[in-house]
A and B are shown apart, each in its own frame.
Chain A
Amino acid sequence: MRALLRKIWTTPVVAEPLAPADDDRQIEAMARQVDARAQRLFGRSLHIREVDAGSCNGCELEIGALNNPYYDLERFGMHFVASPRHADCLLVTGPVTRNMADPLKRTYDATPDPKIVVAVGDCARDCGIFAGGYGVVGPVSAIVPVDVVVGGCPPTPQLILAGILAALDRRGTFQRIHPTDGPIA
Chain B
Amino acid sequence: MITKIAIETIQLLIVGLGAPLLVGLVRRVKARLQGRRGAGVLQPYADLRKLLAKEAVVSETTSWIFRFTPYLLVATMLLSALLVPLLTTRTPLGFLGNIIVLMYLFLLGTFFLALAGLDAGSAFGGMGSSREMAVAALAEPTVMIAIFAMALRVGNTELDEIVRRGATDSLLLLTPGHLLAFLAFFIVALAETGRLPVDNPATHLELTMIHEAMVLEYSGRYLMLIEWAAGMKLLIFLALLSNLFFPWGVALTVTPAAVAVACVALVLKVGALAVGIAMLETAVAKLRLFRLPALLSGSFALALLAVVSFLFVK
Task: Judge if B217 is at the interface, Cβ distance under 8 Å.
Answer: yes
In B53-107, which residues have CB < 8 Å from any A CB? 53-57
Whether A112 lies near B56 (C-beta < 8 A) is: yes
Task: Judge if A85 is at the interface, Cβ distance under 8 Å.
Answer: yes
- What CA separation (Å) do A82 and B125 show in the bound complex? 12
In A1-32, which residues have CB < 8 Å from any B CB? 1, 4-5, 8, 11-15
Partner of B38 from the list A12, A44, A72, A88 (CB cut-off 8 Å) is A72
Interface SS of chain A: loop
- What CA separation (Å) do A82 and B210 show in the bound complex? 13
Size of B's binding interface in residues, CB under 8 A: 35
Whether A45 lies near B36 (C-beta < 8 A) is: no
Assuming the contacts A8-B33, A45-B46, A113-B55, asked whether A85 and B39 have C-beta atoms less than 8 A apart, the reply is no
Residues in B neighbouring A85, C-beta threshold 8 A = 57, 216-219, 223
Size of A's binding interface in residues, CB under 8 A: 33
Residues in B neighbouring A114, C-beta threshold 8 A = 54-55
Whether B216 lies near A12 (C-beta < 8 A) is: no
In A130-147, which residues have CB < 8 Å from any B CB? none
Residues in B neighbouring A83, C-beta threshold 8 A = 216-217
Nearest residue (CB) in A for B216 is: A83
A170 → chain B closest CB, angstroms: 14
Whether A82 lies near B204 (C-beta < 8 A) is: yes
- What CA separation (Å) do A72 and B38 show in the bound complex? 7
Task: Judge if B311 is at the interface, Cβ distance under 8 Å.
Answer: no
Partner of A74 from the list B33, B35, B36 (CB cut-off 8 Å) is B36
In B1-45, which residues have CB < 8 Å from any A CB? 27, 31-39, 43
- With A72-B31, A80-B204 already in contact, 17 other A-B pairs whose C-beta atoms are closer than 8 Å: A4-B282, A8-B33, A11-B35, A12-B35, A13-B32, A69-B35, A69-B36, A74-B31, A74-B36, A77-B43, A82-B204, A82-B206, A82-B212, A85-B216, A85-B223, A112-B57, A112-B219
Q: Which residues of A contact B (CB under 8 A)?
A: 1, 4-5, 8, 11-15, 37, 41-42, 44-45, 47, 69, 72, 74-77, 80-83, 85-86, 88, 110-114
Q: Which residues of B contact A (CB under 8 A)?
A: 27, 31-39, 43, 46-47, 49-50, 53-57, 203-206, 209, 212, 216-220, 223, 279, 282-283
